[in-house]
Chain A
Amino acid sequence: MITSFLFKNLDRGIIVVVAILLGLAVAIPALNLLTAPDHPFHVPTYLVSLFGKYLTYALLALALDLVWGFCGILSLGHAAFFALGGYAMGMYLMRQIGARGSYGNPLLPDFMVFLNWKELPWFWQGFDMFWFAALMVVLVPGLLAFVFGWFAFRSRVNGVYLSIITQAMTYALLLAFFRNDMGFGGNNGLTDFKDILGFNIQAQTTRAALFAASAVTLASCLVLTTAIVRSKYGKVLVAVRDAESRTRFLGYRVEHIKLFAFTVSAMMAGIAGALYVPQVGIINPGEFEPGNSIEVVIWTAVGGRGTLIGPIVGAILVNGGKSIFTAAFPEFWLFALGGLFVFVTLFLPKGVVGTVSAYLARRKAQGRAADADKLVAEPMAAE
């Protein structure tokens, strides 16, 4: 099989990252559960949840990278898919509360009792079953992406126009979920969860398990996206990104190519949201905020779009920085964050991973150095 040197190189990188993720999936829960709190290698539960959250963000960024980095679709609405997946999971968790809510109503979540609702709305049916909720976690964002993409790609809405209408989509959803009449808890969203699959959601072991689940899911999705990107379909994706009309004149149905990636990406984002909710304990319309989607783009850019490891690194870097700086310099962290974005776009246009791998490639194989640059070629060069 003929595979270029670079792809071989990248594949090795991905194997390493997958191995690290799987290692973490075992090590962090083990260090958390099995060591005494004063042990030097003890990982506090607080960090387990925090890292679990980062991993779901990483998954979201990976999902965005599939469409942006490889297909040139800059979605400014990916947080919407994330939030929808989160809401599906949140609805399951709400139903699990059962009669343990403040008002003790066995069927209705507290906020419905609060607003004088008498019966469960139809779209809440079925969410008491985990398999159904899990299905909805991928189906709802997937379906929205499919319908939205079907229209947008068929009409050849491109570039900035597409970005702006995805933003309009998430903004409209934000406003809709804010409405208390929608039946999703309005501004407060869904919270006060108790159990997941019968386990206490606040228990240390549950948190460790959720972390492990996030790490394993991220690793699997990384393998999946690698397979997608390395397949001929993946090459077509990049071809669409670089020269859309050329691809079309070769006979590819660009709208189908895009639609598939967009839908898969939305489903991955939905899964990320579903893993996120039980770890942070709340889902509310704030997740639809257009700014959140822009942040995802920024994680991806910081890490390096068009590489698969980049978005993961970017999401963890930026969010880790945010966690540290919001506590260390509460008054000034926004300067650091804003400065980081400017710095990365100006000096690291390929992102951290892109720059490092380009540098490595140059050093390792100087004769082929020029090729390495193109690995993360500008996706927007053509259109």
Chain B
Amino acid sequence: MNIRARITGAFLATVLSTTAFNGAFAADDTIKVGILHSLSGTMAISETTLKDAMLMLIDEQNKKGGLLGKKLEAVVVDPASDWPLFAEKARELVSVDKVSAVFGCWTSVSRKSVLPVFEELNSILFYPVQYEGEESQRNVFYTGAAPNQQAVPAVDYLMENESVERWVLAGTDYVYPRTTNKILEAYLISKGVKPEDIMINYTPFGHSDWQTIVSDIKKFGSAGKKTAVVSTINGDANVPFYKELANQGVKAEDIPVVAFSVGEEELAGLDTTPLVGHLAAWNYFQSVDTPANAEFIKTWKAYTKNDKRVTNDPMEAHYIGFNMWLKAVEKAGTTDTDAVLDAMIGVSVPNLSGGYSTMMPNHHITKPVLIGEIQSDGQFETVWETPGLVVGDEWSDYLPDSKDLIADWRAPMSCGNFNVATGKCGGKGS
């Protein structure tokens, strides 16, 4: 017998048995919650915070006595910013660790990668990040903003309050900016903006040399019309972008930049003094002055033992999503997926900006939209707010192919892409 072969066999056997028995020994006196956020790799920069936030929420809930009389137990894995690994880890969480729900993902591609897993194994995912929409899946709850909860109101604000006539839509070349810009372009043209007054620019991930593009923006902005930049630039590339803006002297008073992916966390890496007045659109700012938020920030700082840790919008989304899930499980009296899925729709919990967010039948939630200006202390000052709550619109009304689609997961329709023109559900389960 060959030792090499023996070792190979032994290894396979070990992996097999250890992982298989993991599942067999799953304790029954706790309810497990999966946390699927990258702790290493390129996305760790954004996602690690969300892991901490979830751990805190679970911790707090356990202090309040857990759920259905059981303690909650967090299961943390590291999908390492590797998209196929997201699918593998999701599968592991659901089928090996037997978690009742998973909170996780940041990028669209990671969500796309795990969708089939949740569908196949019939489990629940809470997705906390603003995204491009064009999706509604039975097993996923979207607690971040859809484009109509962020992008469109921001553009409205700039048109009305800053009388902007010329638009630069700058983004990283991936689906979220592409879609958002497509929606915005259609929206702007419907509002009478001329196509030549719209400049669209895409850059690669992690782009760090912004000299040419900032100078192009300045050039575009010197045509005698008030110009604004709508930025869907992704996380990492923002710091060098803002540094270049500041250095080339693009002031918010002249060419304001409104961003959809820049929050408190991103600004923590920047000296914001030269950026005062640039804008961001979110559904939550740390500076929101409500008792619930003050409490949340206090708990967060205590939990992380760091007085400088900031809070941000996706954290609030997890806060809302987690509380909704708790409520739905209590309502259903079980963590059984189908029962919870039914119970979720219509659940309403307080958000951190002083109102209530409700889970709609399309698995998106209602949120207020806030426009904030960057302050010199790295926080946002809310300068405008939608008068009421905005319902997340999964299929955009401004895209020709999706304007006829709606999602409604209540029986009897129970469909994620119902075509109101043809009266048919487009594809079962997609």
Within 8 Å by CB, do A and B touch in the complex? yes
Pair B84/A100 contact, Cβ less than 8 Å: no
Task: Give the contact stretch, choosing among B72-80, B300-308, B310-318, B367-375.
Answer: B72-80
B8 & A115 in contact (Cβ 8 Å cutoff): no
| Structural contact, A281 and B20, CB atoms closer than 8 A | no
Interface centre among B87, B204, B402, B427 (most CB of A within 10 A): B427
**Contact A20 B427, beta carbon cutoff 8 Å:** no
Count of A-B residue pairs with CB < 8 Å: 188
With an 8 A cutoff between CB atoms, is A339 at the interface? no
A95–B419 alpha-carbon span in the complex (Å): 22
**Interface segment out of the listed B62-70, B91-99, B320-328, B380-388:** B91-99
With both chains docked as a complex, state the minimum distance between the C-beta of B85 and any C-beta of chain A, in angstroms: 7
A103 touches B417 (CB 8 A): yes
Q: Which residues of B contact A213 (CB under 8 A)?
A: none
A134 interfacial contact with B, CB 8 Å: no
Determine the residue in chain A with the shortest Cβ distance to B9.
Answer: A20
Tell me the residues in window 16-56 of chain A with beta carbons closer than 8 Å to chain B beta carbons: 16-17, 20, 24, 42-47, 49-51, 53
B430 touches A49 (CB 8 A): no
A103 near B405: Cβ-Cβ < 8 Å: yes
**Cross-chain contact B8 with A17 (CB below 8 angstroms):** yes
Known: A12-B2, A102-B430, A330-B77. A191 touches B113 (CB 8 A): yes
Chain B contacts for A114, CB-based, 8 A: 134, 175, 178-179, 399, 401
Given A186-B178, A187-B109, A360 contacting B430 (CB threshold 8 A): no
Q: Does A205 contact B (CB under 8 A)?
A: no
B4 touches A316 (CB 8 A): no
Q: Which of the listed residues A42, A323, A352 has the most CB atoms from chain B within 10 Å of its own CB? A: A323
Q: Mark B309-347, 1 if CB is under 8 A from A, else 0.
A: 000000000000000000000000000000000000000
Q: Which among B1, B4, B16, B80 is the interface contact of A313 at CB below 8 angstroms?
A: B4
Q: Is the interface of A mostly helix, strand, loop or mixed?
A: helix
B77:A327 contact, CB within 8 angstroms: yes
Most B CB within 10 A of own CB, among A286, A317, A331: A286
A383 CB–B CB distance under 8 Å: no
Q: Closest approach, in angstroms, between the C-beta of A226 and any C-beta of chain B?
A: 14
Would A178 and B205 count as touching, CB distance under 8 A? yes
In this complex, how many residues of chain A approach chain B with their Cβ under 8 Å: the count is 64
Does B89 lie at the interface of the complex (its beta carbon under 8 Å from any beta carbon of A)? Answer: yes
Contact residues in B for A102 (Cβ distance below 8 Å): 134-135, 405, 416-417, 426-427, 430
| A326 & B79 in contact (Cβ 8 Å cutoff) | yes
A111 at interface, CB cutoff 8 A: yes
What separation, in Å, do the CA atoms of A50 and B90 have in the docked complex?
12
Q: Are B5 and A13 in contact (CB under 8 A)?
A: yes
Say yes or no: B135 contacts A193, CB within 8 Å. Answer: no
A326 touches B4 (CB 8 A): no
A114→B405 CA distance, assembly (Å) = 13
Q: With A193-B116, A280-B84, A316-B8 as known contacts, state yes or no: A180 contacts B178, CB within 8 Å.
A: yes
B251: CB under 8 A from chain A?
no
- The interface residues of chain B lying within 8 Å CB-to-CB of A113 are 401
Residues of A within 8 A of B112 (CB): 188, 191-192, 282
Interface size classification for chain B: 35 or more
98-122 of chain B: CB within 8 A of chain A:
107-109, 112-113, 115-117, 119-120
Residue B88 interfacial (CB < 8 Å): yes
With A20-B8, A286-B83: A180-B116 Cβ-Cβ less than 8 Å: no
Chain B residue numbers with a CB within 8 Å of A100 are: 427-428, 430
Interface centre among A50, A280, A309 (most CB of B within 10 A): A280
Do B5 and A17 touch (CB < 8 A)? yes
Contact for B173 among A179, A284, A331, CB less than 8 A: A179
- Whether A202 pairs with B120 at a CB distance below 8 angstroms is yes
Query: Do residues A192 and B204 form an inter-chain contact, with CB atoms below 8 A?
Result: no
Q: Which of A168-222 contact B (CB under 8 A)?
A: 175, 178-180, 186-189, 191-193, 202
Is B5 a contact of A326 with CB atoms below 8 Å? no
Q: A101-B430, A178-B173 are in contact. List 16 more A-B contacts (CB 8 A).
A: A16-B5, A99-B427, A104-B419, A178-B205, A180-B173, A189-B83, A191-B116, A282-B109, A286-B84, A309-B5, A316-B11, A323-B15, A326-B89, A330-B78, A331-B78, A353-B4
4 nearest A-B residue pairs (beta carbon): A187-B174, A330-B78, A16-B5, A280-B84
Q: What are 11 A-B residue pairs whose CB atoms fall within 8 Å in the complex?
A: A44-B96, A101-B430, A114-B399, A115-B182, A187-B108, A284-B83, A286-B83, A313-B8, A326-B79, A331-B39, A334-B40
